[in-house]
Amino acid sequence: MNKPATTLKIGVLGSGSGSNMGSIVDAIQADRLNVEIRVVLSDVQDAKILERAKQHQIPCQWIDCAPYKTKLDDKAEQDCVQILRQHGVDTVVLAGFMRIVKPGLLQAFPARIINIHPALLPAFPGIHAWKQALDYGAKLAGCTVHFVDQGTDTGPIIIQRPVPILPDDTYESLHARIQVEEHIAYPEALRLLAAGRLRINGRRVEIL
């Protein structure tokens, strides 16, 4: 028996344009998603995701992560946890967040941090996954929504959506088609979580 649906109170962390956050906002406004975005945080001071948040009257803030380039650690991590808690966040959504999440945040939100990756994990983890896939000569790319653990793109998989690689694909064309699938997959994963239909069983995520 599924748990009753609850309103997820999410905090979004992003570094770029915020297109995945935009797809979540669209699903909320269309009454397809029982989610409330409580706050948006970015490690990039002029990131477009902050501008998008302001357009939707969502509280947002820049997090100074200096001197680190690739991880959320030390004071920045403490600040992030404090802000998320102040806004009543129960689930953290990484939307193009280009830093490795460290144990402090993972321990503050155990099994409640979700990421989306532009590849069919475990293939092509790390940055620019669509470029990795095209350069490798893969026939299939796609996206993966997964729970976050202490590894890099290694957490239990919730949803995957495939994207065929076409003979004339460029980095840009492949990435654009993957993003279309991301904007479907992320709201769907959050819908399942809000409905109490996800259960982590070792490496597997069971959809109830």
Instruction: Give the active site residues.
Output: 117
Q: Provide the residue type at 129 as one letter.
A: A
Q: Provide the residue type at 13 as one letter.
A: L
DSSP 8-state class, residue 59? -
CB 156 within 8 A of CB 203: yes
Distances 74 to 67, 96, 108 between C-alpha atoms, Å: 10, 21, 14
CA 99/CA 105 separation, integer angstroms: 12
Q: What are 177's two structure tokens?
A: 């088609």
CA 24/CA 7 separation, integer angstroms: 13
CA 84/CA 165 separation, integer angstroms: 38
Q: Is 90 helix (H, G, I), strand (E, B) or coil?
A: coil
Name beta bridge partners: 145: 116, 159
Q: What are 29's two structure tokens?
A: 């406004």
Angle at 139 between CA 136 and CA 142, to 5 degrees: 95
